[in-house]
Structure 1
Amino acid sequence: MSKPEDRARQVLAEAPADLLLDRLGALLARDYRITEIELFQADYRLSALLPLGDGEPLTGPGHPAWRSFDHQEPVLADGAAWFPVGMRGERRGVLRLAPVPDDRAVVAELDGIATALGHELAAVSAGTDVYRTARRTRRLTLAAEMQWELLPGRSRIRPSFSLAGQLEPAYTVRGDGFDWSDDGHRLWLSTINGMGEGVTASMLTSLATYALRNGRRAGLALADQAALADQAIYALHRGEQHLSALLLELDLASGELTVVDAGSPRLVLLRDGEVTEQVLEKQFPLGMFEGTDYQEQRFTLRRGDRLFVLSDGVVDATGGNVRYGETALDRFLRRTGPMEPLDAVRSLIGDLRAFVAGDLVDDAVVVCFDWTGPQP
């Protein structure tokens, strides 16, 4: 680790949670003679980069800030530089610094400092609302607030895989959600297609998510995790409320994928440029009946495979009384091959918004997963 990054980490670790940028700015002014520092965070819709302080949102895709965010690399323009801010594949936004010389060593040092800022933002966000509040262009509904707080993040990268997910409509989502976790040997991914409206839908999804986490953390097999969530929902609602879920567990050494389809969102495979929907054994949604016995299916992934998990709000999106449908979806998914998972997710959601000429009416969840193969 470079000395400048060491100093930045120490300054950020000692700074009050709401003064990270102020303290970092003082360090950069002393060490690099930088006089301008500004943090722009991606909003919940992934359609604007919003300044932490006063300033205008950045929405143009050709802007240097967006080029830095999209390509995850520093971009120099007009004496200023834009640096990606994030951690472990979770993209938070970009940091604008000025003046910055066109010096490769200096830019590399500042890039490392921006990454250190991303780690510290993740560390302090549980204790302050400063950064969450600055990420929104308008107020979240209560249900949406609950759903976003439930998520593990929006993207994740490890040597053997990368994945990303998005909820839509971002500011008013109700019951759709996703969750993931890995331990270096296995990856677990669950996607929920919620039921109901408003806070009631969000509470149902929360119960299912926490029940699945509880089973996962207890070391239960995937089918038993589904059974535990099924029992928890049925015990509370006696079958009057239920929800669909797709549970995945991937062995990171072999690429073997274990699946439980509880009335689920669809699972689509992009392999060698071809799109195919995985044929799954449809089982009862979680909470529909008492004591459902869930069965596991297994598939083996190949290096370079991409999976999409899509709720029915994607295919059923309607614009001008025309349904988006499987044909348009397959055509668009095929085009995402060269994109990173978060870019693929953002592009698909953007295409859906353009199709319906605004925000989606029904909830939709999109998760994209790339398997790059076992790593040493």
Structure 2
Amino acid sequence: MVQPLVLPFIHAEWFETPAVVVHRPTLDRNIARMAALAADAKVALRPHVKAHKTVEIARRQRMAGTQGITVAKLGEAEVFAEAGFRDITVAYPVISAVKRDRLAALAARARVTTVADDLEQVDLLARMAEERAVTVGLWLKVDTGLYRCGIPTAEEDRAAAVVSRILLWEKRWREEPGGGVYFAGLLTHAGHAYGAESKEEVEAIAESEGEQLAALKKALQMRGLPTPALSAGSTPTAARVSKVPGISEIRPGNYVFNDRTQVRLGVANPEDCSLRVVARVVSRPTPDRCVIDAGSKTLALDQGAHGSSGLEGFGVVCGKEGLRVTRLSEEHGVIERPNSRVELPRVGQVVELIPNHACPVVNLTRRLGVVGEAGWEGWWSVDAQGRVE
């Protein structure tokens, strides 16, 4: 049975629900564990802060030993740059003129890298850097099996063409004073690991992720194209891919929280899930069904990352064996008991849930409650909440 972590420290009658609450000791333990993993593997840890969007958590990660941060969107990058983070990878294509303008402004106050997988995109970013007199590193985005963005590793000619174009612009930048772009290396995200059916399958995907990067690097070097670094890793694949020879850095994000998805994949145990949702039972219309005040606007609708659907329901009830949220409306969550031996919570009772996917849950709230070893510690602002532009 999954035990509550935060309910013992909450005055239920006066606690506003729904709320997203972090058990800080578990969060800190998760942060320390990943930092130690990266240090042992002798790779840099550049965590993906889209998972938490919270400056305080990023500061705790930095204190544990990280080398920069990763963001998905420029909005997140701007928030963290304002908070003093000066080494940022924007792991998302920057395409439009307005986005390029914002990237230039960001590069004027921080060390910035971003991704590219297209010749025209490289040219646009290089011209922007020259015109604005800023420096931007470009990673070649590589597809190692997710089938989303990136050049498939088997398409060596395409990869070589894009890298050659980046290096051409880099040569121009190094020969002439001013702004420009340089080649940062190869970057991938093996998000298809979230669809794995076992821990062994996750590890196989992670090993393939690293080996594909290493093989493409070798192929590029044989063409006379030096590749400075290899960037890989998600929370499920970080432990294994970090051990593949040649990997330079890993970019996990969800590990600070963990969730039902990580538990299903065998990456974490329920007690490693630091993020919980606290909700209140507002109705019990039948003996077999109750309703809580956390719906899809709190718990999100994910049943597995990247479109996978490996989970049943939308959250598990801690301290109640076999109870989970079976369906959601926008502001209502329905809990149905699987059999008569399971006792449903009564009206007014507060319950603690582990969500399916912590990342969208955080993006749906403006603050995180914080519980420590001695009790309630206050609130942390979700500083980049909603910054998806």
Q: TM-score, normalised by structure 2?
A: 0.24
Q: Which has the higher strand share?
A: 1
Greater relative contact order: 1 or 2 (C-alpha under 8 angstroms, separation 6 or more)?
2
